[in-house]
Amino acid sequence: MSIAEFYQQLLSNLRETTLIEIVAVLFGLLSVWYSKKVNILVYPTGIVNVLIYVYICFYAKLYADMGINVVYFVMSVYGWYHWTHPKKDKQLPSVAFCSRGQHIIAVVASLFFFVVLSFLLINYTDSNVPYWDSFTTAVFITGMWLMALKKVENWIYWIIGDLVSVPLYFYKGLVFTSMQFTVFLIIAVMGYLAWRKTALNA
């Protein structure tokens, strides 16, 4: 694709951007920003974002991403509860690094979700990007779980997923969402550095 063709596609996609996508993007940006700040508002803003994206991804035929937004909703409720209801005689969870066991679980879980989702998308949907859709979904599920546990490494999974999502959503014609993931990527890098500093100083 030439620069002129890229520019024309960008303008065309921007003109076709819907209000509902813009609202979803705004709430998504707020959610990631609050996550970086370790602010509980990450969850209510994130819930609005993911519910809208269930609808958007269905019509874009990004079925795994649609499914992950349902998972995001469940994990957001879990994370919201986990952050505000510590176990008896324990303080609220603080930012920390993953244990060796958690690292292993995260990697194995990502591989498991990728294999399962790829199989489902290839055999039971009309997705034309099954592997990329499955990959981003797998790493984002793991990232969401680690964020709920307040683990620094959650940002690494978000960064990896964002790097793939930027071109993926542009390819699917959701250019405003692609731009959102570009901002997500920048915030994720900032979030990783901020959480790492917090964990090292704990």
| Interior/surface letters 85-106, b for 16+ CB within 10 angstroms, e for the rest | eeeeeeeeeebbebeeebeeeb
Domain count, the chain: 1
- Per the prediction, the chain carries an average pLDDT of 84
- Does residue 54 belong to any structural domain of this protein? yes
Q: pLDDT at residue 107 above 90?
A: yes
Q: What is the pLDDT of residue 111?
A: 97
Q: Which neighbouring-strand residues pair with 151?
A: 96
Q: What is the pLDDT of residue 4?
A: 62
**Closest by CA position to 132, among listed 185, 168, 174, 179:** 168
Q: pLDDT at residue 10 above 60?
A: no
- Does residue 149 belong to any structural domain of this protein? yes
- Does residue 167 belong to any structural domain of this protein? yes
Query: Is the whole model's pTM more than 0.85, yes or no?
Result: no
- Rounded average pLDDT over 68-78: 81
pLDDT in tens, 168-181: 888 877 777 788 88
What percent of the chain shows pLDDT beyond 90?
A: 32
- Does residue 92 belong to any structural domain of this protein? no
Q: pLDDT at residue 119 above 90?
A: yes
- Does residue 90 belong to any structural domain of this protein? no
Please state the three-class secondary structure of the chain as a single string: CCHHHHHHHHHHHHHCCCHHHHHHHHHHHHHHHHHHCCCCCHHHHHHHHHHHHHHHHHHCCCHHHHHHHHHHHHHHHHHHHHHHCCCCCCCCCCCECCCHHHHHHHHHHHHHHHHHHHHHHHHHCCCCCHHHHHHHHHHHHHHHHHHHCCECCHHHHHHHHHHHHHHHHHHCCCHHHHHHHHHHHHHHHHHHHHHHHHHHCC
- Does residue 33 belong to any structural domain of this protein? yes
- Does residue 66 belong to any structural domain of this protein? yes
- Does residue 41 belong to any structural domain of this protein? yes
Domain of 73?
A: 3-85+97-200
Contact 194, 179 (CB under 8 A): no
Q: pLDDT at residue 7 above 70?
A: no
